[in-house]
């Protein structure tokens, strides 16, 4: 389990955003990271001002 951050999406926010994201494809390689975790990471970097590499 990872540490929760202040910038993480709440369940209510995720319910609003999730329907607008692409569903996983039936074929091909499965996703390694959940889209919610990716968005949480993006929001963290935006909030903290961390540099993109």
Contact 48, 17 (CB under 8 A): no
- CA 27 to the chain's CA centroid: 22
pTM of the model: 0.77
Q: Give the pLDDT confidence score for residue 52 in this predicted structure.
A: 63
CB-based contacts of 52, cutoff 8 Å, min separation 6: 45
3-state helix, strand, coil in the chain (%, to 5): 45, 0, 55
Q: Are 36 and 4 in contact (CB under 8 A)?
A: no
pLDDT in tens, the chain (53 residues): 788 888 999 999 999 999 999 988 889 899 899 999 999 999 998 888 876 66
């Amino acid at each position: 389990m990872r540490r929760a951050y202040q910038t993480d999406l709440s369940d209510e926010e995720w319910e609003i955003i999730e329907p607008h994201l692409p569903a996983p494809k039936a074929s091909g390689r499965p996703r390694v990271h959940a889209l919610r975790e990716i968005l949480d990471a993006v929001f963290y970097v935006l909030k903290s001002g961390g540099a993109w590499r």
